[in-house]
């Protein structure tokens, strides 16, 4: 590659990297607050996979 091609390619990659990780609206670090959670059954398990808390409606 010639020097100009490298400079162009690395510049485009740097801009793309900046956009994807710092500007994009789909960033995982954004907090999403749910006002309501609806479920028929909620199960909480420990590290071994055993159910320790169970919430359900009759």
Distance CA 15, CA 22 (A): 10
Burial 14-41 (b: 16+ CB within 10 A, else e): eeeeeeeeeeeeeeeeeeeeeeeeeeee
pLDDT of 15 reads 84
Overall pTM > 0.85: no
pLDDT of 24 reads 54
pLDDT digits (tens, 9 = 90+) for 3-57: 878 888 888 888 888 777 766 555 555 566 778 888 889 888 999 989 999 898 8
The answer to whether the CB of 33 falls within 8 A of the CB of 25 is no
């Amino acid at each position: 590659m010639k020097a100009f091609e490298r400079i162009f390619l690395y510049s485009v990659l740097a801009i793309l990297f900046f956009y994807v990780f710092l500007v994009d609206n789909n960033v995982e670090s954004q907090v999403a607050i749910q006002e309501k959670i609806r479920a028929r059954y909620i199960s909480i398990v420990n590290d071994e996979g055993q159910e320790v808390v169970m919430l359900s409606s009759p």
